[in-house]
Structure 1
Amino acid sequence: MSNTPEDRLAALEITLPEAAAPVANYVTTVLTGNLLVVSGQLPLVDGKLLITGKLGDEVSNHAGVACARACLINVISQAKAALGGDLSRIKRVVRLGGFIACTPEFTEHAVVMNGASDLAVEVFGDAGRHARSTIGVPSLPVNAPVEVEALFEVV
């Protein structure tokens, strides 16, 4: 595996998008001390949702995993922008939070969120192993099926 997060992203053939601006009264990132908080990111690809709907209904687990992965790509993009373009400043992915829009009967939240968790480890190596919470919600903004937020330790 390559040494830097940028090298790993290139090896995975992932090009980070431009960090999206907030759409309401919040900021996309907060850097305080050695912690970087990234607000929840949706599965936007080229400015459009990858898919809409709910897990356990019209969205398959496979599509949900792809959405979680897309969310984390957007989280990493936000982190890179907040850190002056230098992902090597990320010492550790401390925590990921996943929100899964789903039917009441849906119980495979962890499977879906692995799309983000697996990518965190692929990009940051052992420093990408993190604590996490994953919860089901009745809806998300613009009918997105997944939203992911993050907490990083930085240097």
Structure 2
Amino acid sequence: MRWLFLLLVVLNVFYYVWHQQEAPLRAKDVTPLNLYRGPQQDIRLLSETGGDGRKVEAAPRQQCLFLGGFSDEDSIARLQQRLVAMKVNAQSVPKDAAGSGYWLAVAPDGQRLLGDQQLQNLSKEFNELKHKIMLCEGVAPAE
């Protein structure tokens, strides 16, 4: 029994010495980010800069509310009639402009008339109804 104990002690000492021979892992020295920054202290989008590098104030982009996502034209026509009854001005959007399905673009003055409660009521009335807010530019009304 004594021999077994001595053997375990010798093995532990050997194991300790063997692990001390390996180089310990050291954390890499990290240079603070503010030393890498030069005169440029802020991040700017390319659309916010002029040709000479000066900062240009971007014009605010108007966002529109889009209602729809229907797979058939009949549903979007019924939704448009429902919105007209609510005195909300909405125009149909080309099928590819707002994503898959048929969509209506609600005019900015009509967005004020459509609150969360009205949108919930419309979604109960029209099962597939989705709504999203996107930039108005680039979306032309169907003629």
If asked which structure has higher relative contact order (CA below 8 Å, sep 6+), I would say 1
TM-score higher than 0.5 here? Answer: no
| Structure (1 or 2) with the greater strand fraction | 1
TM superposition score normalised by structure 2? 0.24
TM-score (norm 1): 0.23
